[in-house]
Amino acid sequence: MYILIVKTSSLGDVIHTLPALTDALQHDPNLQCDWLVEENFAEIPTWHPAVTRVIPVALRRWRKNLWHTWSSGIWQQFRQNLTQQKYDFVIDAQGLLKSAVLTYLAKGTSCGLDFHCAREPLATLVYQKRFHISKGIHAVTRVRQLLATVLDYGFSDSLPDYGIVGHFQTMLSKNPSFTHKPTIIFLHGTTWATKHWPDCYWMELAQRVTARGYRVRLPWGNAVEQRRAQQMATIHSHISLIPKTNLHGLAQEIAQAQAVVGVDTGLAHLAAALAVPSVTLYGATQPAWTGTYGPHQVHLQAHFSCVPCLKKKCIYPDSTGVYPPCYAQLSVDKVWEGLQSVLKL
């Protein structure tokens, strides 16, 4: 069996697809899989043993200069790369118009969600086979059920196996540069202002963690996050910034940590995929359908009148002195209690 998975973005969505591939490989040990994914996330499928070839796509970049994409031959080269293999099934695991178009271009029986459960129902017009998978379940389970239905094997709702832990265990065993000092990673960066846990809370949590003898490691992706990390690093010599690196480098850092504390961000899903005990904070969003999923995952949900608002900008009147106000419900005491609970696992 040779299949193509179409799941282009985002970081969390790509990671959510990995357990379905593990299930499929257990069903058919001879399974071969190619994966069509946005270039920024092309590293991730290579970590899974079922993936034969990764086909990068750059829709986000190409849209900015359509004429150059066409006239330079970039699009034609991509089409040639995509169509060089005929697949038994081409599975759109995203259910968007953009992913449906890419599914249509590939060679093979196109499959996806039906009109009633696709994220963008018009996408279903291009599929040769459509399947109904309930919306009211976690995204990881939805994709697992989709592949089980397409490939015709039984689905067991067990804890997901993302299939990448072994890759990083091997890498860490060969890399003496990683120390074995007890380490907590703070995933403090996110693109939504309403997901940010207040800086003063991070500072106080860092003080408590280092006082217990743990190192704190801080990733950063832009200047604002770097400044926040540098400010935290002034608290104690055991707090340090992770040098700017790619996703593989960040995954190695996360894989060797004793625990992770993070907001609702793609790297939190990466920590879950690596089976690292984690405390993840939810204010504007909620974890029921797209939260971190797997063993040793603690979700702390703010309890507030407008939670979850699913908005990138908070419009609630500031009556708590905390921004966003819903995070006044997620105090340092609560997060510290959650972190202690995962550290005892």
Q: What share of the chain is helix, strand, coil (3-state, %, to 5)?
A: 45, 20, 40
Report the relative pairing of strands 32-38 and 215-218 from DSSP bridges.
unpaired
The CA-based angle 270-271-276, given to 5 degrees, is 150
Inform me whether the pLDDT recorded for 337 exceeds 60: yes
Q: What per-residue confidence (pLDDT) applies to 91?
A: 98
**AA identity, residue 320:** T
Inform me whether the pLDDT recorded for 135 exceeds 60: yes
pLDDT tier at 267, thresholds 50, 70, 90: very high
Q: Tell me the whole-structure pTM to 2 decimals.
A: 0.94
Q: What is the second-level CATH architecture of the domain 166-343?
A: 3-Layer(aba) Sandwich (3.40)
CB atoms within 10 A of CB 82: 19
Which residues lie below 8 Å from residue 96, measured CB to CB, with a gap of 6+?
Answer: 119, 120, 123
pLDDT tier at 345, thresholds 50, 70, 90: low
- In the three-class reduction of DSSP (H, G, I as helix; E, B as strand; rest coil), residue 144 is classed as helix
- In the three-class reduction of DSSP (H, G, I as helix; E, B as strand; rest coil), residue 109 is classed as strand
- Nearest Cα neighbor of 187 from 248, 115, 278 is 278
Q: pLDDT (tens digit, 9 = 90+) per residue, 98-113?
A: 999 999 999 999 999 9
CB atoms within 10 A of CB 81: 14
Per DSSP, the residues of 229-267 read: HHHHHTS-TTEEEPPS--HHHHHHHHHT-SEEEEESSHH
pLDDT tier at 306, thresholds 50, 70, 90: confident
Q: What is the mean pLDDT of residues 178-202?
A: 90
Which residues lie below 8 Å from residue 26, measured CB to CB, with a gap of 6+?
Answer: none
CA Rg value for the chain: 21
- Nearest Cα neighbor of 109 from 80, 138, 68, 151 is 151
Which residues lie below 8 Å from residue 314, measured CB to CB, with a gap of 6+?
Answer: 193, 194, 284, 323, 324, 325, 326
Long-range contacts of 324-329 (CB under 8 A, 24+ apart): 324/193, 324/194, 324/196, 324/283, 324/284, 326/283, 326/284, 326/302, 327/197, 327/198, 327/201, 327/281, 327/283, 327/302, 329/302, 329/303, 329/304
Alpha-carbon span 143 to 132, nearest angstrom = 11
The CA-based angle 41-43-45, given to 5 degrees, is 90
Inform me whether the pLDDT recorded for 179 exceeds 70: no
Cite the residue boundaries of each domain of the chain with CATH code 3.40.50.2000: 2-163, 166-343
What fold characterizes domain 2-163? Rossmann fold (3.40.50)
Q: What is the mean pLDDT of residues 41-51?
A: 97
Alpha-carbon span 188 to 199, nearest angstrom = 9
Region label for 294, one of left (φ > 0), alpha (ψ between -120 and 50) or beta (otherwise): left
Question: What are the angstrom distances between the C-alpha of 324 and each of 72, 104, 119, 156, 170?
Answer: 46, 42, 28, 39, 41
Q: Is there a contact between 101 and 79 (Cβ–Cβ < 8 Å)? A: no
Q: Which residue has the tokens 């995954």?
A: 251
